A = this chain, B = another copy of it.
Amino acid sequence: MRNGLRARLAADRPCVNGWLSMSNGYGAELMTRCSWDSLTVDLQHGVHDYASMVACFQGIRFSGIPPLARVASLDSGMIGKALDAGAWGIICPMINSRQEAADFVSACLYPPLGRRSNGPNRAAGYGEPQASYQSFANEEVLVIPMIETGEAVESLDDILDVPGVSGVYIGPSDLAVSMGHPPTFDTEIPEILAIYRRIVAATHRRGQFAGIHCLSADYAARMTQMGLQLVTISSDGLLMTAGALQALDRFRSGIGERE
């Protein structure tokens, strides 16, 4: 089995990613009822660890939706474990320099491109009759550094030039903070939008992609039109609580109660 997200990105089709911050295996399985192009388990800011990531990956395997993992830090041990467990891409926070990008690539790819250790467990199941997982993993795994500091923006070309970097993922709130703004998503600050455009241009030039975390579907659509090819909309927890708040509001209006 190959990485459908990679194929879709390669075909220049917009990709919309679901975000798993709270889900157990069953919640992840429920998310497959929606047509996400990929689903990412957030090991950094989500309430997740290795075991819950594996449970989510198992929950979604039947659907064919490619699983990704956002790791908590540039930790080669955990990156290897996420890939062995079947992640088709790794999003790594706080990649700010060529060296960090190179270390990140090294953790994701088998020799000679990197130093990933052999021993896929769940991922071995992606193997095909004529081709083991290991034989095509380096082509299929997406290596996605996060650009989320001013430092990273300054080192953008250095980072993108590291062989093996597939694309980048913008962390809007950390980037905003890094530029001296409050932590916000779906920003309208021109200075930051300009950075996004610069990232789009720099990635496209190299045949790479750019992604970003959005809150609203509308903003995600705008980002897509701006050239970002991988857009995340909200998260499992926010979708649930936003739905609940809306329902409660409508109910209380309906019965003429305000609280």
Contact = CB atoms under 8 A, between A and B. Distances in A.
Interface of A: 14, 16, 18, 21-27, 29-31, 33-36, 44-47, 49-52, 54-55, 58-59, 61-62, 71-73, 75-78, 80-81, 84-85, 93-94, 110-111, 115, 117-122, 125, 134, 148-149, 171, 173-174, 177-178, 182-183, 216-218, 220-222, 224-225, 231, 233-234, 236-237, 239-248, 250-255, 257, 259
Copies in the complex: 6
A2 B78 CA distance: 32
Greatest chain B CB density within 10 A among A22, A122, A148 is at A22
B16 A251 contact: yes
A216 B81 CA distance: 25
Nearest to A64: B62
A69 B170 CA distance: 30
A259 B35 contact: yes
B237 A27 contact: yes
Contacts of A61: 29, 61-62
Contact of A217 (B25, B173, B254): B254
Contacts of A71: 77
A85 to B, nearest CB: 7
A19 B252 CA distance: 17
A59 B10 CA distance: 30
Given A54-B26, A111-B177, A239 B248 contact: no
